[in-house]
Amino acid sequence: MKIAIIQMDIAFGDPEANRRYVKQQIEQTLAETAVDLFVLPELWTTGYDLARFDQLAEPGGEITIAFLANLAKQYQVYFVAGSIANAKKSGYYNTLIVINRQGEWVKQYDKAHLFRLMEEEKFLQQGDQDGLFMIDEQKAAAVICYDIRFPEWIRAHMLNGAKVLFVVAEWPASRIDHWRTLLVSRAIENQCYVVACNRVGADPKNVFGGHSMFIGPWGEIIAEAGDQAMTLTANIIWEEVDRVRQEIPVYQDRRTELYQHLAGYEKK
């Protein structure tokens, strides 16, 4: 499967400008090479303009879903469409969207772990659903930025059969070494592909680090971007995950009864 990561600068608080840019990048990429799936960064329509989510958040994500659905149907591609500002009756959410080749949305995942250093907890509600979905006949998972610091959350998805982990982010340049190390670690310990899309550029409070990456199930870096806007492409081979998991049988060697016993002490 050929995947393209759109590593972009985000026009702060300007959804229309960001949608125009994404459409342009998709069309330019497809004019040069065949792609099965596109990945976009976290909050790519608005950036971290949290204080204006009451104006910017889309009810149910309807505008952006319709925009991407048309592109998906036109070009017969999947979208792991980053995340958007989503307005629900219960509040505002940072919501990741997956759309299939037929233009149908197949997953919405609300960010489970809110990042206090960027004041998400002051403006957003945390999600409580998993990030599992299907790509054709293969199971995949997706999470958002800060989620990768919680390995137990990632492992829960892998235990449900996911072979690739998509990560969408606005990860600051000041901690880009954490970004790279955490992503490689998640790939090695879960014996899965990691496809990670970060943004570049800056907003009024932060500078973002880019370094979007494709990582294989051995933990090898297949392709990595720098800190400028670009589209990064690579192939993933589903059978490679099966081969690695058979060679070092981590999943069969887990001792869940031991882990559960230790978890019991945490509750005392």
Q: Which residue has the tokens 């072979």?
A: 163
Task: Using alpha carbons, select from 70, 88, 48 the residue that is nearest to residue 172.
Answer: 48
Tokens describing residue 70? 């048309």
Count structural domains, the chain.
Answer: 1
Residue-wise pLDDT tens digits, 193-242: 999 999 999 999 999 999 999 999 999 999 999 999 999 999 999 999 99
Q: What is the pLDDT of residues 79-116, one digit of tens each?
A: 999 999 999 999 999 999 999 999 999 999 999 999 99
Residue 252: domain span = 2-266
CATH code: domain of residue 43: 3.60.110.10
Exposed, middle or buried: residue 259 (CB in 10 Å: 0-12, 13-18, 19+)?
exposed
Threshold 0.85, pTM exceeds? yes
State phi, psi for 138 to the nearest 5 degrees. -110, 145
d(CA 54, CA 246) in angstroms, rounded, equals 49
- Pairing state between β 37-39 and 2-7: parallel
Q: What is the pLDDT of residue 260?
A: 86
Could you list the active site residues? 42, 111, 145
